[in-house]
């Protein structure tokens, strides 16, 4: 269920509070992009946007003015808050998470599963679809806020918009010291990534529930980097999606598009007219015959990386600078 946010502000930070009431009017920013028009110019419009927000650009609205926080029914007795510190974009910008007034870690304090039997995980959205700043949960910083990645001393952006909502699954970890027996690759030292394939943008910092339907085994610079693919439980198509075939039927061509996006985004190629061209080097690869594995396999991946996370937290594996809540 989505919850209604209430808004307060300050000079140094902006805080979004979540009241435990159903949403009567939720602000969303919707893209006119369809699978066949990835390369086309995108037009944004709003659905039931509060009047106070109608004059602002959707791409620059502060989180505190545009994000509902989704939580499962079992968690309705408490409330999350999100605190932004620093100006966006900047090296100092951070998104902190709180629960009942206490700072929490989105990696360590949110359960992995919202409904394990139904294959529904909790997910932390780091990057909103149709944006390109590479935001991530900072695994080596205290409380693991979201920040923008840095590369060679500069804020990192993708070379093009990412066409799906993107985030991580809490309490998972891909062990860089454990070689996968089939892929012959070691983990990338991060929580498991999740791609939300649905039709609406989900704002950065949202904690939402996603049905984990499939997974791709990406190999990035020799490291295993699972890409779980799923659909938000808030998406009207979710109830009819219970397999990779269902997902392909509901969102035709998107699994292939996700594979090609992640294969090529680090390459020297260009994305033109809805496809990648002029690629000579820098591509990622995929294991498992490049297949998008089914829900059962996806659940096994999540369970395996949950076990690796448990080993990390128990001290059986060296943290090597990761911030672990004790």
pLDDT at 326: 75
Q: Distance between CA atoms of 80 and 100, rounded to whole angstroms?
A: 7
pLDDT number for residue 79: 67
Q: What is the rounded distance in angstroms from the CA atom of residue 173 to the CA atom of residue 164?
A: 22
Locus of tokens 């502060």: 62
Look at residue 81 in the predicted model and tell me its pLDDT.
82
pLDDT tens, residue order, the chain (326 aa): 433 333 333 334 444 433 333 333 333 333 334 333 333 333 322 222 222 222 223 333 345 444 444 444 344 334 678 899 999 999 999 999 999 889 999 999 999 999 999 999 999 999 999 999 999 999 999 999 999 999 999 999 999 999 999 999 999 999 999 999 999 999 999 999 999 999 999 999 999 999 999 999 999 999 999 999 999 999 999 999 999 999 999 999 999 999 999 999 999 999 999 899 999 999 999 999 999 999 999 999 999 999 999 999 999 999 999 999 87
Task: Please identify which residue in the block is written with the tokens 């989704």.
Answer: 70
The DSSP element (H or E) to which 161 belongs, if any, is strand 157-162
Tell me how far apart the alpha carbons of residues 182 and 170 are, in angstroms, rounded to a whole number. 24
Q: How do residues 150-180 score in pLDDT, each as one tens digit?
A: 999 999 999 999 999 999 999 999 999 999 9
pTM score, whole prediction: 0.80
Residue positions annotated with a catalytic role = 158
Question: How many CB atoms are located within 10 Å of the residue 268 CB?
Answer: 12
Q: Sort 296 into a burial class: Cβ within 10 Å, 0-12 / 13-18 / 19+.
A: exposed
pLDDT tens digits, one per residue of 281-315: 999 999 999 999 999 999 999 999 999 999 999 99
Helix (H) or strand (E) holding 245: helix 244-250
Distance of alpha carbon 167 from alpha carbon 59, whole angstroms: 18
303 vs 200: CA distance, rounded Å: 28
* Stretch (H or E) spanning 15: strand 13-22
* Alpha helices for the chain (secondary structure H): 63-66, 244-250, 254-264, 295-314
Nearest to 25 by CA among 60, 61, 50: 50
Q: Is 194 exposed, middle or buried (0-12, 13-18, 19+ CB in 10 A)?
A: buried
Q: What SS3 state is found at 49?
A: coil
Peptide bond into 89 cis (omega under 30): yes
Burial class (CB in 10 A: 0-12, 13-18, 19+), 186: middle
Distance, CA of 170 to CA of 114 (rounded, Å) = 11
Is 28:247 a contact under the CB 8 Å cutoff?
Answer: no
Q: How far apart are CA 29 and CA 27, in angstroms?
A: 7
CA distance 275 to 202: 25
| Confidence at residue 104, expressed as pLDDT on a 0 to 100 scale | 96
């Amino acid at each position: 269920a989505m919850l209604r946010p209430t808004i307060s502000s300050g000079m140094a930070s902006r805080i979004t509070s979540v009241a435990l009431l159903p949403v009567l009017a939720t602000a969303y920013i919707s893209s006119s992009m369809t699978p066949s028009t990835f390369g086309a110019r995108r037009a944004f419009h709003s659905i039931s946007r509060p009047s106070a927000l109608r004059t602002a650009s959707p791409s620059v609205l502060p989180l505190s003015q545009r994000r509902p926080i989704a939580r499962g029914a079992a968690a309705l007795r408490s409330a999350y808050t999100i605190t932004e510190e620093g100006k966006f974009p900047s090296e100092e910008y951070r998104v902190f998470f709180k629960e009942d007034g206490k700072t929490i870690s989105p990696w360590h304090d949110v359960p992995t599963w919202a409904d394990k039997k139904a294959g529904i995980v909790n997910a932390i959205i780091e990057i909103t679809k149709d944006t390109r700043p590479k935001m991530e949960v900072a695994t080596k910083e205290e409380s693991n806020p979201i920040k923008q990645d840095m590369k060679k001393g500069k804020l990192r952006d993708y070379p093009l918009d990412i066409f799906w909502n993107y985030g991580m699954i809490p309490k998972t970890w891909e062990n860089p010291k454990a070689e996968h027996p089939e892929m012959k690759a070691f983990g990338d030292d991060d929580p498991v990534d999740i791609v939300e394939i649905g039709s609406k943008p989900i704002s950065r910092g949202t904690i939402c529930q996603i049905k984990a339907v499939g997974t791709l085994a990406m190999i990035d610079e020799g490291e295993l980097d699972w890409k779980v693919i799923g659909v938000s439980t808030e998406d009207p198509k979710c109830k009819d999606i219970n397999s990779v075939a269902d997902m392909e039927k509901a969102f035709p061509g998107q699994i292939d598009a996700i594979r090609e996006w992640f294969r090529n985004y680090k390459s020297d190629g260009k994305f033109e007219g809805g496809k990648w061209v002029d690629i000579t080097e820098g591509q990622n690869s995929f294991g498992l015959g490049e297949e998008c594995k089914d829900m059962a396999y996806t659940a096994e991946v999540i369970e395996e990386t949950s076990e690796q996370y448990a080993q990390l937290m128990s001290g059986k594996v060296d943290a090597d600078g990761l911030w672990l809540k004790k």
